[in-house]
Amino acid sequence: MIHSLFIINSSGDVFMEKHWKSVISRSVCDYFFDEQRKVGCPEDMPPVIATPHHYLISIHRCSMFFVAVCMTEVPPLFVIEFLHRVVDTFDDYFSECTESIIKENYVVVYELLDEMLDNGFPLATESNILKELIKPPNILRTIANTVTGKSNVSSTLPSGQLSNVPWRRTGVKYTNNEAYFDVVEEVDAIIDKSGSTIFAEIQGYVDCCIKLSGMPDLTLSFMNPRLFDDVSFHPCVRFKRWESERILSFIPPDGNLRLMSYHIGSQSVVAIPIYVRHVVSLREGRLDITVGPKQTVGRTVENVVLEIPMPKCVLNCVLTPTQGKYSFDPVSRILVWDVGRIDNTRLPTIKGSITLQMGVQAADSNPNINVKFTINQLAVSGLKVNRLDMYGEKYKPFKGVKYITKAGKFQIRM
């Protein structure tokens, strides 16, 4: 299955490698670097690269590439899902996943990778099991291990490893029992010059933070479950119950998890929560952009950022924003306007002049605008949680649901 894993930083250096079978030379990454030079940004990198003797399957997260090397044909999504599990595990263990954090915890990282993959095949990928096998690092444990020469690996098998519910450890106890759910929706859209929607869809997910004692059995129902075009679940969800009743029934892992991911396609009418009015003329050297809310049900649009990749003929931009601040990078030619929060009574505007290179003809087409935004307490699809019930335990937990709408790949053509 998976022979080797290489972790590559933003500078293109392989700073960590792990081999489960035979050692594969890091020169295999040259094929990866050749493809990387052909693309403009990390998101456009092809996830699967076929070489004469290997398959390179990669993901880009936390400003790093995680590249798995396989010798034979394997289901690519299987490997991609495993790589995401690796990053999620690092996040869970070290609070964040960065190059410096991985370097500081090399020993624990190698121990985790040894347990997560056995002879190239996924073995233990659940965080609860891994934490019983390998204790998360802290200062006292690190000092003790240095003095005594011990490792973080436990000598006993985790209690959940052989049970029917391997994702949940036994004997969980909390003073305050609580379950929080975040319904997060990312809007992917392409808006044309006139403001009409060319393409729009929603990628959503339900993240949970569950701290409940004992072995609770939960059911979560939605007001309008027929909205979903496609769904994927955490292994704890009983799929037959969902197919028959459209109810999520599950015994949850302890702590944080992604309960489900869903997709709402273009056959549904997707509300566009923001609009941009723009007048950009490279020939005349002027720019005028206004941004405002649209179909937000009275919710405030926050963390608004507009990013405009300018053509190479643009030397500089001298602009005046009514709100926020802007920056123009003369090397990458990217104009960024950090708007912040939109006040409905006074819409943010930026206008000014664009300086072009002398003797260079302006491009016929205008650049695109990439938009980022966040809207709290709104699921733009209209999805709503109906109720959460708990069985198997007698206490009453505290329950909460939060809705967030964010921009995914949200592009406006000028």
pLDDT at 135: 81
pLDDT at 267: 66
Unique residue bearing structure tokens 């109810």:
247
Closest CA to 166 of 253, 72, 260: 253
Q: In whole angstroms, what is the distance from residue 67 CA to residue 56 CA?
A: 6
pLDDT at 248: 95
pLDDT at 157: 56
User: Which structure tokens are listed for 251?
Assistant: 């015994």
pLDDT at 211: 94
pLDDT at 124: 85
pLDDT at 384: 94
Unique residue bearing structure tokens 């109906």:
386
pLDDT at 164: 73
User: What letter does residue 359 receive in the DSSP assignment?
Assistant: T
Q: Are 406 and 182 in contact (CB under 8 A)?
A: no
Please identify every stretch of the chain with a pLDDT value under 70, giving residue numbers as ranges: 139-163, 266-267, 361-365
Dihedral, CA of residue 392, residue 394, residue 398 and residue 403, to nearest 10: 20
Handedness of CA 88, 91, 97, 102 (dihedral sign): negative
Q: In whole angstroms, what is the distance from residue 168 CA to residue 356 CA?
A: 61
Q: Name the burial class of residue 179, with classes exposed (0-12), middle (13-18) and buried (19+) by CB atoms within 10 angstroms of its CB.
A: buried
pLDDT at 130: 85
pLDDT at 290: 92
Q: Residue type for 376, please? A: N
Tell whether pTM > 0.85. no
Domains in the chain and their CATH numbers? 2-148 (3.30.450.60), 178-270+378-413 (2.60.40.1170), 274-376 (2.60.40.1170)
Burial 50-68 (b: 16+ CB within 10 A, else e): eeeebbbbbbbbbebbbbb
The kind and range of the H/E element at 143 are helix 139-148
